[in-house]
Structure 1
Amino acid sequence: MRLIGACGGIRGRTHRTLAGAALVAAIAAWPATSAKAAPYPVPETSDDVRRVPIPPVDRSEEPVIVVAGGTLIDGRGGAPVENAVLVMQGDRILAAGPLSNTPLPTDADRTIDATGLFIMPGLIDLHIHFTQQRCHDFGHYSDSPAAAAIRGTVLAGQLVDAGITAARDVGTVDDVALRIKEAVDRGLIAGPRVLWSGRLIASTGGHGDEVTSTATGRQKPGLGGPSRGFNGPWEWRTAVRQQVRRLADWIKLGAPADRAEIAAAIEEAHSLDVPVAIDSYDKYTDWAIEAGVDTLEHPLAMTDDTVPLMKKHGTAFVPTIGAFDNLLNGGYPTAGIPSGGFYYTHSRRFVIDQQDHLARVSEAYRAGVPIGVGTDIPFENEERYPDAYFRELAYLSEAGMTNADVLASATRVGAEIMRMGDKLGTIEPGKIADVLIVGANPLDRLDNLRDVRYVIADGEIVRSPD
């Protein structure tokens, strides 16, 4: 069950970064085996990609939670540690390792007996949309930003309950994803740590600004309303600045677009130290990689040059294989979207080939391209989550990735792709206390991740068998 109280019942996140002096003092009180952890960097910043400076926070009076007796898979690539102990205070990890070298504190507020269980970092979903539609009866109701926010709140609970403790929203309605991020930070709702990218930046008529329904091909009322598209390099720069002004953690671009537009947006975002993702295909993808885009979302109509370019420029890859398998096999019946591929869309005039998608992921994996886990489910969220996440792991396995590397993609690599590798993705002193405890070894079988026993998000127990 999820444990959540009223406002403040789940510890706030954005304002609770660890004070350098406070961490040094806390670790100094521990035995020498755990006192060697590096102090948290000063000055302190918010726990998101924006890294806004904040005042120090004293955690010395925060509760201490101990997890003892389980097998620790800390995410750093080493062998699992049996009979391990994990110590957390507030929203930070103080110590982690074998019980023989990491004595238990005598004043713990709660101790979890993890004997026979497996302790690992919380999972990360790099491609979600909190404002996407639910199924069955959604066609009976008018949509709005408020309705989208309610749906997103439900999805946030679904994600964290399954052990997904961090998520990147790469396209939202208005400021819905930002407000969900803030609600989780403030303890108003249960959910993963949220990074958001505002609305997708597209050219007029491009992906994100089309006016025909994907399901029927009919034009939307009023041709979709006022255009949201941007045209020319300076308009794309302006769009980036607007998103950063609205507190976006990431910028999301769409194709088609002019080469100069894509390059201008990426250059502008990077000048402000904000990373960029792109939903693209064909030559537009290659242009974006050459311009320095940080992540490529989806393996759509990739050229033979794409993976070598990704390797050369250090581009990360978030394949979202399941999103396209859904289209090919069954579609989204409740939304009236038939199976087989993209229909009625000018910016998606190509065939979806699932075997080619898997082959491209395999090619990227063999080339050493960083691969993250993302789902991108646009409809029927209440039925497809969290199953969609675990299915995505299976697709990565089908593409040739080892179980260990799939787990790394879901944790450490995902955190690095998010620009949060110093705070998330592994279990080690000084990092944020996002922890998943499962009943069987996920290195043996990825589906063992479904056997969730405990979820600790930001130092709070949000799912527990008791």
Structure 2
Amino acid sequence: MGHEAAGAPTPHAAPEKGTTAVYRGATLIDGTGGPARPSTTIVVDGGEILLVAPDGEIPDDLLDGAETVDLQGRFVIPGLIDSHQHIATPPNRALAEETLRRHVYGGVTAIRDMADDLRQVGDLARATRVGEIPGPDIHYAALMAGPSFFDDPRTWQVSQGETPGAVPWMQAITEETDLPLAVAMARGTHARAIKIYADLPPALVAAITAEAHRQGIAVWAHGTVFPTRPSEVVAAGVDAVSHITLLAYEAGAEPLNGYKDKPAIEYDRFADGDDPKLQALFEQMLEQRTVLDATAGLWAWLETETEDDDERARARANSVLAARLTAHAHRAGVPISAGTDYETEPHDPYPALYDEMAFLADRCGLSPAEVIRSATLVGAMSLGAEAAMGTVESGKLANFAVLSEDPLQDLAHLRSIEFVVKRGHRYDRTDYRPTGAPVEAEPKGCTD
């Protein structure tokens, strides 16, 4: 190396280990789904939680010389996790940084990026991790699909300067592919998972999953991969499946030829009670411990975005279907994470995850405590990171949000956020200002 030089400033980095902060007197909603815990103290050492205990049970030596924050009358929830984001389809660095900034000031301390241009996403993940820019931790996937998928215009947006399907973050897979090499190339992007998208038969879905797991990374898949049905996707052993409406294809009678040739969804089939084929699928997912990234509110958002009457009617039908099937999955006990696959306009002061959480409560029958668990602990499960985040517990990252009003009474109280702690660094809500002028939203990564 030519010479040593100081790197970029890291104003949002975690405090040094040995820097202790004591947050006292809070009502803690810890993310497990259990009851709120009043009069609770959280002791933070650097970027990690050292102790969580009743106010009267904190050893004096932990209080000596520590910064103390009085949270009497406040409510603490774990840092929120959006389990379905796209921040670089196509790459737009300024918009991505503003979105990440809004996330963290809105209490979102981690996101799952479901395949984008990983040249940019990797750098954004590094920058938020070391504290160069404000934002959540970013766990991201490299994509694999059949060759016929790669004329999709989005694949060109995320492969600019290269050939879609022939880059490490977006690979076309066939029976002749050297899967150990393909997975190793994906791992070389620092991806946490392989995303299996479309146009792959069941045997290849299973082979990719087995090889990824052998090399120590997760597999996140579309609920239907076409021609691979949801039950075949789950049977392959994937860790999470995305998009609840795609699971409807498990009950359809028509063959699933390919991603661009989907049969019509039989909406009437799901209008009266729980479908037995979906019940069997949900039991299979429960047995396999497969996380459902439902993106349940996505179609409600799309209904407001389109000006085409036919597309609006389709979005409305899919929104009703999403609510019914997500409610069914919830009754069956499937772990449901809160993911969006869209984002609010840059001038909106709060992230889209708040809307997804409201949809889960208002349309899918989850209680506020269950919704918070979906957006925290189950979100961490979708990342494969539940050992480090998702609940407020000793030994985990110091990721939590402080609210002035009780979110268990009304999830709209998420907007009473006062400050966020992410890896021990404090983000005061009063320091946040959204982008002023509305701009045209960027295209997102996928809808179905």
> In structure 2, what is the equivalent of residue 326 of structure 1?
301
Checking the alignment, whether the CA contact within 8 Å between 1:233 and 1:261 is kept in structure 2 is yes
How far the C-alpha of 1:239 sits from its partner, in A, is 3.3
- Please say if 1:162 is aligned against 2:106: yes
> In structure 1, what is the equivalent of residue 29 of structure 2?
73
How far the C-alpha of 1:382 sits from its partner, in A, is 1.5
Checking the alignment, whether the CA contact within 8 Å between 2:106 and 2:351 is kept in structure 1 is no
- Please say if 1:278 is aligned against 2:221: yes
Q: Normalising by structure 1, what TM-score?
A: 0.75
* Structure 2 CA distance for aligned equivalents of residues 132 and 325 of structure 1: 21
Q: How does 1:412-423 map to 2 (within 5 A)?
A: 412-423=377-388
* Structure 2 CA distance for aligned equivalents of residues 339 and 91 of structure 1: 50
Segments of structure 2 that go 5 or more residues without pairing to the other structure are 1-7, 166-170, 252-276, 432-448
How far the C-alpha of 1:151 sits from its partner, in A, is 2.2
- Please say if 1:295 is aligned against 2:243: no
SS at match of 1:97: strand
- Please say if 1:94 is aligned against 2:58: no
> In structure 1, what is the equivalent of residue 291 of structure 2?
316
- Please say if 1:10 is aligned against 2:23: no
Amino acid at match of 2:213: H
For residue 210 of structure 1, the aligned residue among 133, 145, 151 is 151
Classify 1:68/1:212 alpha carbon distance in 2 versus 1 (closer, same or farther; 3 Å).
Answer: closer
* Structure 1 CA distance for aligned equivalents of residues 404 and 368 of structure 2: 17
Checking the alignment, whether the CA contact within 8 Å between 1:257 and 1:284 is kept in structure 2 is no
> In structure 2, what is the equivalent of residue 192 of structure 1?
136
* Structure 1 CA distance for aligned equivalents of residues 208 and 244 of structure 2: 21
SS at match of 1:321: coil
Classify 1:394/1:351 alpha carbon distance in 2 versus 1 (closer, same or farther; 3 Å).
Answer: closer
Classify 1:234/1:443 alpha carbon distance in 2 versus 1 (closer, same or farther; 3 Å).
Answer: farther
* Structure 2 CA distance for aligned equivalents of residues 352 and 171 of structure 1: 27
Residues 210-231 of structure 1 deviation map (CA, whole Å, 9 limit, x = unaligned)? 34689xxxx99xxx98442624
> In structure 2, what is the equivalent of residue 230 of structure 1?
172
How far the C-alpha of 1:163 sits from its partner, in A, is 0.2
* Structure 1 CA distance for aligned equivalents of residues 238 and 77 of structure 2: 30
Classify 1:362/1:385 alpha carbon distance in 2 versus 1 (closer, same or farther; 3 Å).
Answer: farther
RMSD: 3.0
Residues 238-278 of structure 1 deviation map (CA, whole Å, 9 limit, x = unaligned)? 43321112211111110232222211211111111211111
SS at match of 1:151: helix
> In structure 1, what is the equivalent of residue 341 of structure 2?
376
Amino acid at match of 1:273: G
Checking the alignment, whether the CA contact within 8 Å between 1:68 and 1:114 is kept in structure 2 is yes
> In structure 2, what is the equivalent of residue 117 of structure 1?
74
Classify 1:314/1:385 alpha carbon distance in 2 versus 1 (closer, same or farther; 3 Å).
Answer: farther
SS at match of 1:65: strand
* Structure 2 CA distance for aligned equivalents of residues 413 and 212 of structure 1: 32
How far the C-alpha of 1:289 sits from its partner, in A, is 0.8
How far the C-alpha of 1:103 sits from its partner, in A, is 4.5
Segments of structure 1 that go 5 or more residues without pairing to the other structure are 1-5, 17-57, 134-144, 344-348
Classify 1:230/1:339 alpha carbon distance in 2 versus 1 (closer, same or farther; 3 Å).
Answer: farther
SS at match of 1:255: coil
Classify 1:126/1:234 alpha carbon distance in 2 versus 1 (closer, same or farther; 3 Å).
Answer: farther
* Structure 1 CA distance for aligned equivalents of residues 244 and 419 of structure 2: 34
For residue 126 of structure 2, the aligned residue among 179, 182, 193 is 182
Classify 1:236/1:448 alpha carbon distance in 2 versus 1 (closer, same or farther; 3 Å).
Answer: farther
Amino acid at match of 1:294: D
Classify 1:377/1:423 alpha carbon distance in 2 versus 1 (closer, same or farther; 3 Å).
Answer: same
Checking the alignment, whether the CA contact within 8 Å between 1:233 and 1:264 is kept in structure 2 is no
Checking the alignment, whether the CA contact within 8 Å between 1:65 and 1:108 is kept in structure 2 is no
How far the C-alpha of 1:78 sits from its partner, in A, is 3.3
Checking the alignment, whether the CA contact within 8 Å between 1:278 and 1:293 is kept in structure 2 is yes
> In structure 1, what is the equivalent of residue 406 of structure 2?
441
* Structure 2 CA distance for aligned equivalents of residues 267 and 327 of structure 1: 35
Q: Which region of structure 1 is more displaced relative to structure 2, 167-176 or 436-445?
A: 167-176
* Structure 2 CA distance for aligned equivalents of residues 401 and 193 of structure 1: 26
Of all paired residues, the percent bearing the same amino acid is 28
* Structure 1 CA distance for aligned equivalents of residues 154 and 381 of structure 2: 36
* Structure 2 CA distance for aligned equivalents of residues 287 and 400 of structure 1: 28
SS at match of 2:191: coil
Checking the alignment, whether the CA contact within 8 Å between 1:269 and 1:275 is kept in structure 2 is yes
Residues 120-159 of structure 1 deviation map (CA, whole Å, 9 limit, x = unaligned)? 21111111011146xxxxxxxxxxx4xx233222211110
* Structure 1 CA distance for aligned equivalents of residues 71 and 387 of structure 2: 26
Checking the alignment, whether the CA contact within 8 Å between 1:321 and 1:395 is kept in structure 2 is yes
Checking the alignment, whether the CA contact within 8 Å between 1:66 and 1:108 is kept in structure 2 is no
How far the C-alpha of 1:383 sits from its partner, in A, is 4.7
Checking the alignment, whether the CA contact within 8 Å between 2:398 and 2:423 is kept in structure 1 is yes
> In structure 2, what is the equivalent of residue 39 of structure 1?
none
How far the C-alpha of 1:188 sits from its partner, in A, is 0.5
Q: Normalising by structure 2, what TM-score?
A: 0.78
How far the C-alpha of 1:446 sits from its partner, in A, is 1.1
For residue 408 of structure 1, the aligned residue among 373, 377, 381 is 373
Q: Which region of structure 1 is more displaced relative to structure 2, 412-421 or 189-198?
A: 412-421
SS at match of 2:401: strand
Checking the alignment, whether the CA contact within 8 Å between 1:230 and 1:236 is kept in structure 2 is no
Amino acid at match of 1:154: E
Classify 1:123/1:339 alpha carbon distance in 2 versus 1 (closer, same or farther; 3 Å).
Answer: farther
Classify 1:255/1:167 alpha carbon distance in 2 versus 1 (closer, same or farther; 3 Å).
Answer: same
Amino acid at match of 2:133: I
SS at match of 1:157: helix
